[in-house]
Structure 1
Amino acid sequence: MTAEQIVRTFFEEVRSGRNPDYASSVMAEQVLAHQVISEAEVTVTRTPSDYTDHVREMIEAYGEFSLEILELLTQGDKVYVRWRQTGTHVGEVDGYSPTNLPVIEFASAVYRVENERIAEYWIQIDRMGIEKQLERNRS
């Protein structure tokens, strides 16, 4: 499979919440996750199991959300994806009680594929946009 096919499968199966356990089929045993938050970059190591748990937490917070790939570009072993995730605030998020109102996340990431597995990624999420929606929905 190509890098693009692996990342597309990751989004369709794992990141979408449809089949979180499929993470072990498209992710390396140890994945470097560079999380860009404003001017600070934090790097954590994720395993497929960690990522499966992460997706399940998103489902607990936002229900069965929809995920739309807005852009996907490939260059060698790297794949850039920009997406929109739309869910319903059904679980506690950062201290905000559920409102049952929609929450939209815009995010993008670059995934590096090695040996037909995602080995590393750099992700940026519009966290302030999510925070503003949660605050507005609480009012």
Structure 2
Amino acid sequence: MSAAQVVREFFEKVRSGKELEAVHGVMAECVLAHQVQSEKEVTVERSPADYAAHVREMMQIYGEFTLTVEQFLVQDDQVYVRWKQVGNHLGEIDGVVPTGKPIVEIASAVYRVEAGKIVEYWIQIDREGIRAQLEQNAKL
């Protein structure tokens, strides 16, 4: 499978929450996840099971969410994806109690694929945008 096919399957089945068991077919046993948290770069190791648990947690927080890939670019073994996730605030986020109101997450990542599996990714999420939505929803 090409890098594009692996990442497309990852989004369609795993990241969307539709077929979490497919995670083992698209992610290596140890994936380096480079993240930006409070303007600090952090790298964590994720296993397929960890990632599936992460998506389950998102489903508890956002409920049934839609995931729309807005940009998909491929260069050799790397795939850039920008997406929009829309759900409802059903679980606690950063200490903010659920409001049930719509919430949108905009994010992007570059995935590196090796031997047909994701082995590394660099992700950025508009956390400030989420915070502003939570603040606005709490006022309504």
Q: TM-score, with normalisation over the residues of structure 1? A: 0.97
The 2-side partners of 1:104 and 1:119 are apart by: 27
Aligned to 2:127: 127
Correspondence list, 1:82-93, <5 A: 82-93=82-93
Structure 2: distance between partners of 1:20 and 1:133:
28
Backbone CA RMSD of aligned residues? 0.8
Partner of 1:95: 95
Separation of aligned partners in 1, 2:18 and 2:61? 15
> How far does residue 65 in structure 1 lie from its aligned partner after superposition?
0.3
Q: Tell me how far apart the structure 1 counterparts of residues 61 and 21 of structure 2 sit (CA, whole Å).
A: 18
* Identical amino acids, percent of aligned pairs: 60
Distance 1:26 1:67 in 2: 18
Question: Quick one: which amino acid aligns to residue 11 of structure 1?
Answer: F
Secondary structure of 1:49's match? helix
Gaps in structure 1 of 5+ consecutive residues:
none
Q: Distance in 2 between matches of 1:22 and 1:64?
A: 19
State the alpha-carbon separation in 2 of the partners of residues 80 and 9 from structure 1: 14
Match of 1:52 in 2: 52
What is the CA-CA distance between 1:36 and the residue it aligns to?
2.1
SS at match of 1:135: helix
Q: How many residues align?
A: 139
Q: Secondary structure at the match of 2:8?
A: helix
